[in-house]
Structure 1
Amino acid sequence: MTRALSAFLLLFGLVGLAGAAPASNQNTGDEASRASVDELLSSASSAVRTENYEGVLVYLREKQLDTLRVIHRFKDNVEQERLVSLTGQPREVIRRGGAVTSILPDSKVVLISRHQRKGLLGSVAQFSPKRMRASYLVSDMGQRRLSDRIGRLIQITPRDEFRYGYRMLIDEKTRVPLKLDLLRGNDVLEQLMFTQITFPEAVADKAFQPGYNIEGFRVIEHEAVQVEDKPVPEDAWKPTDLPPGFELAEDGVRRVTENGYVRQMLFTDGVATVSAFIAPAGLRKPLEGATTMGAVNAFGHVSGDTQITVVGEVPAITVRQIASNLVHESRASAAEDKK
């Protein structure tokens, strides 16, 4: 549930950044229309974080439908939201900035986690949005009506088999996205859609209070995974032969246990993102080969004493190619010396 909404917000953040420069427009092809689409995408990335809105959001994936009540506001430069599951097991998530509280009433558990404001995606904004135009066609499909509101339908179509497509309906007045489809060809892999939505001028503080009496619940606190300041070792892994359009966005070392360290690399094409995890073999149960969960694909293998795992909301061919082309620099040099 929460992964879905996070992906929803994240996608519009990335698309908005990519839309800051002229995008392709198959309907008209003129500069004014392209600028209009760019402005619309950029505004959507901001509005989804800074507008006040309340509504009911449905999430469809693998023929399973989840329904959420969403309450969101931006006050005193702090983003807050509350998500309440209306289907399946009772669940509730309350977020204030980087602090996230998850309530599981059936288990009588409260999970509290904290996330640093600057995540691995923070530097994506520094990249040139021209990469998006190289990998996708962007089309303005005109006006559509949803939840008694008028929106503009934008389609982002991949140019090759290494990425999915997207179709989004953006509210004309507020620029908040009303609907998002994740596409593989003409098939909808995942869909998020507001069936009800309002835009109040203000949202009361009490709207972000838990809806359950959590007295006596077991509280579990998870600290954010620490990002080490130390540089990546010179004798390290490097990416080669990446899928077209993808570039390395972030590269760092994370401490996941007291003595366990994992190198994490983030790749992006301006819209889609893929994470690669490089860890000592045996640190966790290894993933061998390919696995799929909905639109998310992963591929893992062990190379010597190292476990490599690559995961992302991209086609299987993309994670496999990245995982298969992470090369240890010292081994690559040794191989070259033998030639």
Structure 2
Amino acid sequence: MTRALSAFILLFGLVGLAGAAPASDHDGADHASVDALLSRASTAVRSENYSGVLVYLREDQLDTLRVIHRFQDGLEQERLVSLTGQPREVIRRGGVVTSILPDNKVVLISRHKREGLLGSVAQFSPERMRAHYDVHDLGQRRLADRVGRLIEISPKDEFRYGYRMLIDEQTSLPLKLDLVRGDDVVEQLMFTQIDFPKTVPDDAFMPGYDIDGFRVIKHEAVQVEDKPVPEDAWKPTDLPPGFELAEDGVRRVTENGYVRQMLFTDGVATVSAFIAPAGLRKPLEGATTMGAVNAFGHVVGDTQITVVGEVPAATVQRIARNLVHEKSKADTGS
């Protein structure tokens, strides 16, 4: 549930950052207008107060969520309540995410540092995005009794998906997102009802379930450790066109177990690579797909490599196959 909404927010964050400067080709004025719209959407998804019903469609499975969002005194808060399937509720306050699973009587708490793995994405430019995507304004469309502008981002090769986004003309909040593979819509997120209250009360972010007696599990494994990445460690080579290493960090997953995580992006799409000792977790061998998410894993010596992202299968496989280990001078005897 939250992965889809996180991807929704993340996409506009990345694309909006890509729109921070004007384009420079013969369609410069049109490009600058679209880039500015995407940039406003990136801001709106974090800074607007809004509440409504969000529908998520993937692999013929339909999930419906109630969403409440507030930005106040520099703090972003959000509450998601599942209206279909197994009861679930997620409350986010800044970097603290609380997930409530009432059927299991479990509360999961995760903490995320602000300087997370996406801290360096702001380096990407509109020129970089447009080198691998065509961006078009398809004009006005109507959704949830509101008028928006439909923006299409089409890939120029087989290593990335396309996107269609409907952006509200009054608030610049994204109202709909289609993730597109060829002529097929792989995933779809859209508001079927939405309001923009001037204020949102504090009690809107209180749990809807009585969690007294629930088991509380704290996930500290999400923290990026200060442990440095070894210079003689795994290095990316021959990446898919346009993809570059954006972040590189080490995460603690057990008391003595560490996983290296690398984040790659082309300015819109993102891919994560996990490098861990073999046997630390159940290994993934070969390719697997779930909706728009593709993953590829293989074991090299005593190391498990897993690459995952909302990109085509060819992209994750190429990245996984081209992570190579560079031995240190001590290892080579020089």
- Establish whether TM, by shorter chain, passes 0.5: yes
1:19 alignment partner in structure 2: 19
- The one of 29, 42, 45 equivalent to 2:42 is 45
- The one of 253, 276, 280 equivalent to 2:250 is 253
Instruction: Give the stretch that moved more between structures: 122-131 or 206-215.
Output: 122-131
1:179 alignment partner in structure 2: 176
Classify 1:183/1:331 alpha carbon distance in 2 versus 1 (closer, same or farther; 3 Å).
farther
Shift of 1:105: 1.3
CA distance in 1, matches of 2:143, 2:199: 23
Classify 1:30/1:128 alpha carbon distance in 2 versus 1 (closer, same or farther; 3 Å).
closer
- Amino acid across the alignment from 2:86: Q
- The one of 37, 57, 60 equivalent to 2:57 is 60
* Counterpart secondary structure, 2:120: helix
Q: Is the 8 A contact 2:275 2:305 kept in 1?
A: yes
2:89 alignment partner in structure 1: 92
Q: Is the 8 A contact 2:113 2:223 kept in 1?
A: no
Shift of 1:135: 0.7
Please list, as runs of the form range in 1=range in 2, the aligned pairs for 1:112-127 lying within 5 A after superposition.
Answer: 112-127=109-124
Instruction: Give the stretch that moved more between structures: 206-215 or 50-59.
Output: 206-215
Q: Is the 8 A contact 1:116 1:224 kept in 2?
A: no
Amino-acid identity (%)? 83
Q: Is the 8 A contact 1:93 1:100 kept in 2?
A: yes
1:330 aligns with 2:327: yes
Please provide the CA RMSD for this pair: 1.9
Please list, as runs of the form range in 1=range in 2, the aligned pairs for 1:1-339 lying within 5 A after superposition.
Answer: 1-22=1-22, 30-330=27-327
- Amino acid across the alignment from 1:251: D
Which runs of 5 or more residues in structure 2 are unaligned? Answer: none
* Counterpart secondary structure, 1:11: helix
> 4+ runs of 1 displaced by more than 6 Å?
331-335
Which runs of 5 or more residues in structure 1 are unaligned? Answer: none
- 1:258-309 CA distance string (max 9 Å, x none): 1111111111000001111111111111111111111111111111111111
Please give the TM-score of this superposition, normalised by the length of structure 2: 0.95
Shift of 1:126: 2.0
Instruction: Give the stretch that moved more between structures: 130-139 or 157-166.
Output: 130-139
- 1:69-114 CA distance string (max 9 Å, x none): 0000100100001111110111111111011111111112221221
* Counterpart secondary structure, 1:120: coil
Please give the TM-score of this superposition, normalised by the length of structure 1: 0.94
- 1:192-232 CA distance string (max 9 Å, x none): 00000010100111111111122222222222533232332
